[in-house]
Amino acid sequence: MITLADQLLVLVLLINFISLGTSRLIFSIRAVAVQGVILGILPGLIHPFSWHLVGITTVIIAVKGFVIPLLLVRAVRSAEIKREVEPFLGYVPTLLLGAVFTALSFGFAGKLPMLPEHQNYMFVPASIATLMSGFLVLTTRRKAISQVIGYLILENGIFIFGLLLAEAMPIMVEAGALLDLLVGTFVMGIVINQISREFSSLDTSRLTSLKEE
Amino acid sequence: MAQELVAASTLIFAATLLAALSGAPLLVPGLLSVSRGQLLATVLMLAASALGLIGAAVALISGSSEIFQLAWALPFGPAEIGIDPLSAWFLIPIFLITGCAALYARTYWHAGHYPHNVRKMTFFFGVMTAGMSAVVLARDGISFLFAWEIMALASYFLITTEDEKPEVNAAGTLYMITTHTGTLGLFALFPLLNLLSGSWLFPAAGSLTASSPLAAAVYLIALFGFGMKAGIMPLHIWLPSAHANAPSHVSAVMSGVILKVGVYGIVRTLSFFNAVPLWWGCSVLALGGVSGVVGVAFAIGQHDLKRLLAYHSIENIGIIFMGLGVALVGQATGSPAMMLLGMSGALLHVLNHALFKALLFLGAGSVIHATGTREMDLMGGAARRLPYTALLFGVGAVAICGLPPLNGFVSELLIYLGFFQGIQGTGGAAAAAAALAAPALALVGGLAVACFVKVYGIVFLGSPRAERHEASHEAGWPMLLPMLLLGSICLVIGLAPSLVAGPLGRVSLTVLPLLVTTAGLPLQELAPLEMITIAGALLLALISLVTFWYRRRLAGTVCSENVTWGCGYQRPAPRIQYSASSFAGMLTSLFAFVLKPQSHPPEIAAGIFPDRSRFSSHVPEAVLELVYIPALKRLYARFSGVRKLQNGILQQYVLYSLVTLVVLLAVSYF
């Protein structure tokens, strides 16, 4: 089971690179949806069966795999944009940076003082690498929808870290994480709407005109 | 006993929850009409305040304390709430004033007149009440900060009830900035306390030594953070505009209670320490003296009724600080009499100021409701139309001036007696400080009398100065009843201070546990409380006798009406009366060196028939306009380079987080 989990985590890492390297928004959203589904399966592989676990799995697959991607695809369709053009940083440099960060996170995770039973998993490095990829998407892309995607990847990274603690994790923390996601999506939804209404464009760099002088 | 106490705490928790939820039904769309929702919220708030008051009274009378641990998984260790006499003492004004204000608001801010903001106001009023109650119940730094922020944010929304007006928004913004500056201090305070005591829980009273430099830092930061909320000079800048621009019942609660929560924070922090150095007491005493004198001087110069009352809050906070200073000086010099007198004077003044200041703000609200202006120079003769309001406002005015037979006199007398104990005591620095502070307190009292003679004379006596703002109607009973209640409590405390002496002694004991070990003097032996009762009763009898005699004499004579200050002119006009600024002119010019009054004299053109001209004068918020704003402007210019970091590009903001994260990772890696 552990090896299967590790293989799935490799898949998660590869999906990070897909989102870093593609300019097509729909493709990127689908990739993140697949990542969400994988994350939903993971808890079942590493923890013994319990109804609590079933609940978590269902909610995560439903929210991360279907609800949020559907909302995003709809936003993309209604805004009639297909591609992220002119990112702040090109796709190849972003991919390279992503690779560097992934390597660094593996190095860093090895140094962390962890419990012996967590030592051999790929969870921690995968978590940090995903987190960094999310940050990269957030910092390099212009379109508000790309920002949401970056935020989702970031959230996925945090979620992977939480997986190690799923049994010890109090419900409050889970609820907090889901709430976080919800709020994040809402805020971004509002931002998307406001930007496109105010500037008839989804370019977040236009937000600079809102800056107080 | 234990059973009783459980009941007390249950009552208080229930009251807090009830208050927090009182406005919630209004927020559910379509559930209730605004008016019914407001009525429901008023009833719930009254129930909450009844429960809370009973709970606080039971806790005060039983005098023991209880602590509950919250099942609250936070990363900072256990969270605790508890009730002890000090908390219970502050809970009394919290629940009393909010209950009165809630009843008042039902008529004063009726849903029919303010359909747009009544939901917001009612909801946040309950939340603020619950927040204040939670602040005094919290027993660890983290829950304290939570409750503190709930209180601070709820009161922001209350100040900005009428957020369509630009001056209200400006007042709200100023409040927001200052309150968060103060909270920043508290964020530093609790980690420092944690360093001292090794826990986020509040240390037991008197368990920390005050001699270390860390303790001095804790003291100074507490003075800054809590002093900002309490409105001590020179941190008071948010207070006048916030009090003036909030609805009157909100000003009553803000001035009566929220400032006291700041005082509570200081008292609580001071109670952790033993062997307090002398300079702590002297600095608190000095701050109190400055706040008292300068606060009342500013008050004299104001034309806006609510701004004037707001400056009086600063003055009264100064008096409370003077009491605390006496207690601290007593602690430093080992004089239990000074400690007890100062602390109980300060604590009693906390309650008294809450009572009479709320009474005054509610009375001012009634006058403003009837005249439609806050400008005193447009009012006049309100006593004719609002006789009950005038009487009750008069009670509040006498109380705030510290005159017998009302409650302000009792607390100020206790503080005076503390000063005298210091002067007669061991001598040295303590005696010098007390000898310097006593005249300051006397000056404050005298100036307060002058100021309230002005207010009462200009607003209630004489004849109306502007026809448009003639007082039209007496306030309804839901507005008068709270004022009557507050006024009678003022009178009861003023006439029978021995009623509160027992609880006061117990509260002082929880704050200053040293008193138990040294001679535990009862308050009754230190202060002539029976004498106050006798003298007060005699005075009251004399006043009623004179009134009765005057009425009878008046009834028998023929009265003619004329304009006040008509001075024998043939055609006197109401405008000929003394105005608020002319009455205060002499005192304002005496204090011109701090007040910096600005007057715009009329231009009188040469010639036989000069043109129309106008004269105006006002006393600005000198500390804000002449000290803080220029300093901040200079700072702004100096640091304009840093503002390039805030460039409005979302991606760069995220990049800052990323860089921080990478740096932290790298630091922990190597």
Contact B665 A140 (CB under 8 A): no
Q: Are B658 and A139 in contact (CB under 8 A)?
A: yes
Whole-angstrom CA distances from B510 to B65, B206, B346, B347 are: 9, 9, 14, 12
Residue B165 to chain A, least CA–CA distance (Å): 21
B642 touches chain A (CB under 8 A): no
Which of B61, B90, B81, B85 minimizes the C-alpha distance to B510? B85
Beta-sheet pairing, B66-70 with B208-209:
unpaired
Calpha distance B354→B318 (Å, rounded): 14
- In this prediction, the residues of chain B whose per-residue pLDDT falls under 70 are 1-6, 72-75, 426-427, 471, 513-521, 669-670
DSSP assignment string, B176-204: HHHHHHHHHHHHHHHHHHHHHHSSSBPPP
DSSP assignment string, B471-492: ---PPPHHHHHHHHHHHHHHHH
Q: What does the pLDDT look like over B415-447, one tens digit per residue?
A: 988 888 888 876 677 788 888 888 889 999 999
Q: Examine residue A163 and state whether it is found in any structural domain, yes or no.
A: yes
Calpha distance B412→B448 (Å, rounded): 13
Phi, psi of B117 (to 5 degrees): -115, 5
DSSP assignment string, B529-548: HHHHHHHHHHHHHHHHHHHH
The domain of A79 spans 2-197
B665 touches chain A (CB under 8 A): yes
Contact A208 B649 (CB under 8 A): yes
**Whole-prediction pTM:** 0.81
Report CA B303 to chain centroid distance, whole Å.
20
Bond prior to A69 in cis (omega within 30° of 0): no
Q: Examine residue A207 and state whether it is found in any structural domain, yes or no.
A: no
Calpha distance B656→B85 (Å, rounded): 48
Contact B654 A140 (CB under 8 A): no
Q: Examine residue A83 and state whether it is found in any structural domain, yes or no.
A: yes
Does residue A34 surpass a pLDDT of 90? Answer: yes
Contact B647 A211 (CB under 8 A): yes
Residue A155 to chain B, least CA–CA distance (Å): 14
Residue A23 to chain B, least CA–CA distance (Å): 17
Contact A204 B646 (CB under 8 A): no
Q: Examine residue A208 and state whether it is found in any structural domain, yes or no.
A: no
A135 touches chain B (CB under 8 A): yes
CA dihedral defined by B397, B398, B401, B407, rounded to 10 degrees?
Answer: -110
Calpha distance B186→B265 (Å, rounded): 10
Helix (H) or strand (E) holding B169: helix B166-197
Size of interface A-B (CB pairs under 8 A): 47
Candidates A135, A208, A211; nearest CB to B658: A135
Rg of the Cα atoms in chain A: 18
B658 touches chain A (CB under 8 A): yes
Within 8 A of A128 by CB-CB distance, chain B residues are 665
pLDDT for the residue B666: 78
Residue B177 to chain A, least CA–CA distance (Å): 17
Q: Are B408 and B356 in contact (CB under 8 A)?
A: yes
Which of B483, B458, B321, B524 minimizes the C-alpha distance to B392? B483
For residue B529, what are the contacts with CB-CB under 8 A and spacing of at least 6?
B497, B498, B501, B523
Calpha distance A145→B498 (Å, rounded): 70
Q: Which residue of A has its CA nearest to B652?
A: A139
Candidates A107, A132, A207; nearest CB to B650: A207
Q: Are B440 and B377 in contact (CB under 8 A)?
A: no
Contact A147 B646 (CB under 8 A): no
Whole-angstrom CA distances from B233 to B236, B261, B265, B319, B451 are: 5, 17, 17, 12, 19
Candidates A104, A139, A210; nearest CB to B658: A139
A205 touches chain B (CB under 8 A): yes
Q: Examine residue A211 and state whether it is found in any structural domain, yes or no.
A: no
A18 touches chain B (CB under 8 A): no
Q: Which residue of B has its CA nearest to A139?
A: B651
Q: Which two tokens stand for residue B297?
A: 């001087």
B640 touches chain A (CB under 8 A): no
Candidates A132, A140, A211; nearest CB to B651: A140
Whole-angstrom CA distances from B583 to B454, B470, B600 are: 7, 21, 17
Which of B331, B445, B440, B456 minimizes the C-alpha distance to B391? B456
Within 8 A of B649 by CB-CB distance, chain A residues are 204-205, 207-208
Calpha distance B119→B126 (Å, rounded): 11
CA A185-A191-A197 angle, to 5 degrees, is 135
According to DSSP, residue A72 is labeled H
Within 8 A of B652 by CB-CB distance, chain A residues are 139
Per mean pLDDT, which of A152-156, A172-176, B80-84, B265-269 is the most reliable? B265-269
CA dihedral defined by B219, B225, B226, B229, rounded to 10 degrees?
Answer: 160
3-state secondary structure of A1: coil
Q: How far apart are the first and last CA of chain B?
A: 60
pLDDT for the residue A118: 65
Q: Are B366 and B389 in contact (CB under 8 A)?
A: yes
A104 touches chain B (CB under 8 A): yes
Q: Which two tokens stand for residue B616?
A: 């105006």
Q: Are A149 and A202 in contact (CB under 8 A)?
A: no
Which of B396, B251, B270, B259 minimizes the C-alpha distance to B320? B259
What's the mean pLDDT in A134-155?
83
Contact A205 B665 (CB under 8 A): no
pLDDT for the residue B165: 87
How many domains does chain A divide into? 1
Calpha distance B69→B80 (Å, rounded): 4
Which of B98, B89, B109 minimizes the C-alpha distance to B15? B98
Within 8 A of B661 by CB-CB distance, chain A residues are 135
Q: Are B85 and B63 in contact (CB under 8 A)?
A: yes
Q: Examine residue A210 and state whether it is found in any structural domain, yes or no.
A: no
Calpha distance A29→A25 (Å, rounded): 6
Mean per-residue pLDDT over chain A, rounded = 77
Residue with tokens 């429960």: B51
Q: How far apart are the first and last CA of chain A?
A: 57
Q: Examine residue A204 and state whether it is found in any structural domain, yes or no.
A: no
Candidates B648, B649, B669; nearest CB to A108: B669
Which residue of B645, B651, B652 to mutate against A (max A Cβ within 10 Å)?
B651
Kindly indicate whether the ipTM for this predicted assembly is greater than 0.90, answering yes or no: no
Contact B654 A135 (CB under 8 A): yes
Which of A88, A164, A86, A81 minimizes the C-alpha distance to A122? A164
Q: Examine residue A206 and state whether it is found in any structural domain, yes or no.
A: no
**Neighbour tally for B245: CB within 10 Å:** 27
A94 touches chain B (CB under 8 A): no
Residue A70 to chain B, least CA–CA distance (Å): 25
